[in-house]
Chains A and B, each alone.
Chain A
Amino acid sequence: MSENMLNVENLVIHYETDEEVVEAVNNISFRLKKGEVLGLVGETGAGKTTTALGIMGLLPPKVGHVIQGKIELDGENLFDKSEREMRNIRGKKISMIFQDPMTALNPVKTVGEQIAEVVLLHSRCSKVEALKRAQDMLAMVGIVPERYKDYPHQFSGGMKQRIVIAIALACEPELLIADEPTTALDVTIQAQILDMMRSLQKKQGTSMILITHDLGVVAEMCDHCAVMYAGELVEYGTVEEIFDNPKHPYTKALYQSIPSLDKDVDRLHVVPGMVTDPSNLPEYCSFADRCEAKCDLCEKADPKMIRLNEEHCVKCLQYTKEWEGKINE
C-alpha cells in the first residue's frame, strides 16, 4: 500500500490512423493521494478524456495506443494487467462517470438492472441482493428506490446523471473519474449534482479526478488542479496556488476569460489563435504560437516541468535561468 492512490508517470498516448498520428497525451505525470480530488482542466481536445480513458484501459481499440509511461493504481502498474484483471478493476476499483447522461444508459434495460449489473460483476451476491443494493444506491443519490423498475427514458437528464453516479459508486470504488459530469446539465441541476458528488466522495473516502473546463467547479470541489494544453500538463499545484498565483500564460489567459462581476468589460479576454493541432505539434513549446509573453527562446526549446515550490509546478521558459539571462541582456 502506498500513500498515492494513483501515480501517472510520463504517459504518452497516440491515436494512430492510416492518415495521421494524433499525439493526444504527451508525457504527463501526476499523483493523486488517497481521498483527494484532482481537477483536470483544459479546453476541448487538450487530452483530458484521453488521459481518463487511458487510466480506465478503455482507449478505442486499434486506434488508441499507449506509447510509453506507466499508470500505478495503489502501487500496481495497470499496464502489466491482463484484460481479465483490468475488467475486475474497472467498476470495482476505478469507476468513471461520463459526460452525457442522456446516452450513457442502455435504453432497453431498467435502471435497477443497470446498477445491479455492476454489483453482480464485482461482488458475490444473488440477483435479489444486487437489486436491493441498486435500490439503496438509488436512495443514496436521491431517487425514490421504487423507481428501480423504470427505464432510462422515464427520467430527466439530471436524474439520469444521478443514476450514472449510482452505477459508478455502487461498488465503492477507490478512484472515481468524473468526465465533465455536469456539462450536459442545466445550471441549477449542475450545483445539485456537484453537491451530491462531493458529499458522496467525502462519505466513501474516494479519490477523484474531476475533468472539467469550468474553473468555478474546480475551485469548489478540488484539492489539486492540473491544467492541460495540447496533451501536456502545463501547470500543476494546489487549487489555492493555481488560483491565487497562476504562473503559466495559458492558465492566466483562462482566468482572464472568466466574466467578472466587479469589472465592467464589453468583451471578455480571448486566447488568440486556435487550439494547436495535435497531429502536427511543434518541436518547441506548444503554446508559444498563442502566447502573449513569448520571446525567441520559446520557439527554440520545449520547456521542462519546473518545480516552483512544494505545491506548484509549471512548464514555461519564463521561470528558467535562461529567461532571466535573456531579460538581463
Chain B
Amino acid sequence: MLKYIVKRILYLIPILFGVSIIIFGLKTFTPGDPARQILGNSASEAQVQEKREELGLNDPVPVQYFNYVKGIVTEGDFGVSYRTGKPVLEEIAPRLLTSAKITLGAVLIGAVIGVLLGIISALKKYTWVDSGVLVISMFFQSVPEFVVALVLIMIFAVNLHILPANGIESWTGYIMPMLCIGLSSVASYTRITRSSMLEVLGEDYIRTARAKGQSEKNITYHHALRNAMIPVAQSVGTSLGNTIGGGMVLETVFGVPGVGKYIVDSIAQRNYPSVLGGALIIAIVLTLINLLVDVSFVLIDPRLKTTIISGGKTKKKKMKKINAAA
C-alpha cells in the first residue's frame, strides 16, 4: 500500500515537468514584454531594461526555466506576482482554500442529492417517480450554471434578503456557489447511481441475500448500495478535480476570490508567475486528490486492495511463470 502511494507521488514529477514546460513556453513565446507590462507605457527604455534584468528575462530560456525550478525545489518559491509583488504561493493559498471549500460543499451536495435520487429512481424504476426524478435532474444539468446562479441570486438575495449576493465575508456567502455547482452535478450522479444500482440489484448475490431471508430494505442498503457506489466514487474523484480549478464563471458571478478566477485574471494581466505557479499548484493538488480518491476505493471495494498492493504485477509474474513452463 505504502509502495503504491509513494509510486503515485513520484508520478507527480513528470506531470509537473510537463505542465511547467508548456506554460513556460507560452510565457516565452507570447508577444509582449512583461517588464513593460509592469512599468506601464510612461516608463523609459532604460527602466524597462533594468526591470528585465531584475526579473531575469534577459537570460536564455533554459536558464530561466532552470532557475525557476530550482527556486521551487529548494525554497518552495513559485515566483513573485508581477502585479502585487507578493509571492505567488502566498496569494494562491487562501484562494485555493476558498475554492476547495466550495468544491467540497458542492460535490457533497451534488453527490448526496444525486445518490438519493438515483436510489429512489432505481427502486421505483419505470414509474412516474423515476421519470420525474430524471426530468428534474436533467433540467439542472441542461441549464447553464450561471443562469441557475442568477436565479438563485434573484430569489435568495434580491427578494428574500437571506443570503448575500456577492462575496464570502461570512459563511452564508458560500451557500449559493455550493448549491449552484452542486445542483448542476446532481443529474450525472443520479444517472450513474440509478444504472449501477439497477445492475447490482440484478446480480446473483442479491438473489442469494433474498434466499437467506433478508428484507428488501437491508438488501438495498447493506448489499446493493456499497457495490453500486463504486462508479459513483470514481465520478466524485474526477469532479472534485474539475470543480476546483474550473469554477471561474461562478466565482465571477458570485464575486468569490477563488483560484480559477485568479488564474484567468492573471492570464489577462500577463502575470506569468501567477499563471505558472497557479497551474503547478493546482496540478499538485489534483494529483493528491486523485490519489486520495483511489486509495479510498479500497475501503469500498476490497478487490482493489490486491491489485494496489501488488501494483498490478501479479499478472505479469503469472504470465512469466506460464511462459517459463511452456
Question: Which chain A residues have a beta carbon within 8 Å of chain B's beta carbons?
Answer: 56, 58, 86-92, 95-96, 98, 100, 103-109, 117-118, 121-122, 151, 153-154, 164, 167-168
Contact = CB atoms under 8 A, between A and B. Distances in A.
Contact of B211 (A56, A105, A151): A56
A130 to B, nearest CB: 12
A41 to B, nearest CB: 22
B207 interface: yes
A122 B212 CA distance: 9
Contacts of B302: 107-108, 151, 153
A91 B208 CA distance: 10
Ranked nearest first, the 10 interchain pairs of A and B with the lowest CB-CB distance are A91-B213, A90-B213, A103-B204, A91-B212, A118-B212, A106-B205, A151-B302, A87-B213, A96-B211, A104-B204
A98 B204 contact: yes
B101 interface: no
B211 A107 contact: no
Given A103-B203, A108-B300, A153 B306 contact: yes
A104 B206 CA distance: 8
B215 interface: yes
A103 B211 CA distance: 14
A151 B223 contact: no
Nearest to B301: A108
Interface string B293-318: 00000001111001000000000000
A118 B212 CA distance: 6
Nearest to B202: A60
Contacts of B64: none
Contacts of A167: 208, 212
Interface in B191-230: 203-205, 207-215, 223, 226-227
Given A98-B204, A103-B204, A167-B208, A88 B213 contact: yes
Interface of B: 203-205, 207-215, 223, 226-227, 300-303, 306
B39 to A, nearest CB: 62
Contact of B205 (A58, A104, A118): A104
A88 B214 CA distance: 9
A137 to B, nearest CB: 13
Contacts of B226: 108
25 contacts: A87-B215, A91-B212, A92-B213, A96-B211, A98-B207, A98-B208, A98-B211, A100-B204, A103-B203, A104-B204, A104-B207, A106-B205, A106-B227, A107-B303, A108-B226, A108-B300, A108-B301, A108-B302, A117-B209, A117-B212, A118-B213, A121-B213, A121-B214, A122-B213, A151-B303
A105 B214 contact: no
Contacts of B211: 56, 58, 90-91, 95-96, 98, 168
Nearest to A107: B303
B34 to A, nearest CB: 54
Contacts of B301: 107-108
B312 to A, nearest CB: 15
Given A106-B223, A106-B227, A107-B303, A90 B204 contact: no
Contacts of B223: 106, 109
A154 B306 CA distance: 9
Nearest to B300: A108
Given A103-B205, A106-B223, 10 more contacts: A58-B207, A58-B210, A58-B211, A87-B213, A90-B213, A104-B205, A107-B227, A151-B302, A164-B208, A167-B212
A90 B208 CA distance: 10
Contacts of B227: 106-108
B208 A121 contact: no
Nearest to B227: A108
A89 B210 contact: no
B196 to A, nearest CB: 13
B65 to A, nearest CB: 47
B30 to A, nearest CB: 51
Given A107-B303, A151-B302, A153-B303, A90 B210 contact: yes
Contacts of B300: 108
A58 B211 CA distance: 8
Nearest to A87: B213
Contacts of A95: 211
A191 to B, nearest CB: 24
A90 B212 contact: yes
Contacts of B209: 106, 117
A96 B227 CA distance: 23
Interface centre among B203, B207, B213 (most CB of A within 10 A): B213
Contacts of A98: 204, 207-208, 211
A167 B207 CA distance: 13
Contacts of A154: 306
Contacts of B207: 58, 98, 104
Contacts of A118: 212-213
B290 to A, nearest CB: 22
A117 B204 CA distance: 16
A100 B213 CA distance: 19
B206 to A, nearest CB: 8
Contact of B208 (A89, A104, A122, A153): A104
B320 to A, nearest CB: 21
A125 to B, nearest CB: 15
B256 to A, nearest CB: 39
Contacts of A168: 211
A178 B211 CA distance: 12
Interface centre among A92, A106, A154 (most CB of B within 10 A): A106
B214 A87 contact: yes
A17 to B, nearest CB: 13
Contacts of B203: 103
A164 B212 CA distance: 11
